[in-house]
């Protein structure tokens, strides 16, 4: 489900018009979150840390309306729910795209994620199709091999794209904390640093508190 934003009365209409004319309208932010409680909870629940933090990311995205906006045929739409098109790896070190549906409950989220992990493992190539390329997703990737401080994405500037790109990196201990870098790239016509800040607040809450 989605509804169209009335551009004539939208308080971001000038921002949208201005940044939509850019060859590269995306901006990026990298910040760290504390994943210590989330990591402990994953062990307690017997689920993968990946499952838990991907679910937390989706919870945070769905809590911030600006990250649910998408541009389609020059118009702005707000989706009711956002899912994940995640890059999932194989044993040969290639990856495939996936579609992981979001559910508010972590327990309900797991089966869909596990099914996609298995589907990618049994396949080859990118798995780019109408499902993995849906607009009501975030483009998600995990880079557990390093704790990064910056990140860019390969982009075809001629292709109309307004999907946020979120990546996480390797955790590092810091006292009682387990710090995890998170990179967010979003279309500046739809969101600002304020909205990314809201996302990080929601993400930290989701990592700390679990299901509500």
Dihedral sign computed on CA atoms, order 166, 172, 174, 178: positive
B/e letters for 142-166, b = 16+ CB within 10 Å, e = fewer, are beeeeeeeebeeeeeeeeebbbbbb
Q: What superfamily in CATH does domain 2-209 come from?
A: Chloramphenicol acetyltransferase-like domain (3.30.559.10)
Q: How confident is the model at residue 148 (pLDDT cuts 50, 70, 90)?
A: very high
Domain locations in the chain? 2-209
Q: How confident is the model at residue 157 (pLDDT cuts 50, 70, 90)?
A: confident
For the record, the structure tokens of 84 come out as 């994940």
Count Cα neighbours of 159 within 13 Å in the Cβ-side half-sphere: 7
* Confidence check: pLDDT of 114 > 60: yes
Residue with tokens 């909205």: 195
Residue with tokens 């499952």: 51
* Confidence check: pLDDT of 175 > 70: yes
Question: What angle do helix axes 193-209 and 36-45 make, rounded to 10 degrees?
Answer: 40
pLDDT at 193: 98
* pTM exceeds 0.95 for this model: yes
Of 165, 208, 210, which is closest to residue 37 (Cα–Cα)? 208
Q: How confident is the model at residue 211 (pLDDT cuts 50, 70, 90)?
A: low
What is the mean pLDDT of the segment spanning 22-44? Answer: 97
* Confidence check: pLDDT of 212 > 70: no
**Residue ranges in 122-211 assigned as alpha helix (H):** 193-209
* Confidence check: pLDDT of 161 > 60: yes
Q: How confident is the model at residue 210 (pLDDT cuts 50, 70, 90)?
A: confident
pLDDT at 192: 98
């Amino acid at each position: 489900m989605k509804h169209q934003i009335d551009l004539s009365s939208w308080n971001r209409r000038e921002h949208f018009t201005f940044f939509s004319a850019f060859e590269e309208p995306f901006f990026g932010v990298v910040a760290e979150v504390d994943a210590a409680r989330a990591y402990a909870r994953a062990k307690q629940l017997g689920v993968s840390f990946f499952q838990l933090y991907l679910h937390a990311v989706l919870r945070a995205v769905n809590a911030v309306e600006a990250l649910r906006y998408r541009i389609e045929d020059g118009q702005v739409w707000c989706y009711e729910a956002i899912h994940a098109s995640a890059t999932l790896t194989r044993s040969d070190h290639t990856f495939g795209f996936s579609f992981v549906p979001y559910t508010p409950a972590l327990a309900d989220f797991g089966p869909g994620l596990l099914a996609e992990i298995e589907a990618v493992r049994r396949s080859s190539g990118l798995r780019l199709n109408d499902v993995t390329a849906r607009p009501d997703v975030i483009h998600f990737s995990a880079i557990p091999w390093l704790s990064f401080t910056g990140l860019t994405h390969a982009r075809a500037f001629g292709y109309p794209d307004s999907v946020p790109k979120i990546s996480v990196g390797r955790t590092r201990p810091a006292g009682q904390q387990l710090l995890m870098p998170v990179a967010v790239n979003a279309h500046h016509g739809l969101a600002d640093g304020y909205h990314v800040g809201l996302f990080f607040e929601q993400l930290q809450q989701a990592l700390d508190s679990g299901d509500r």
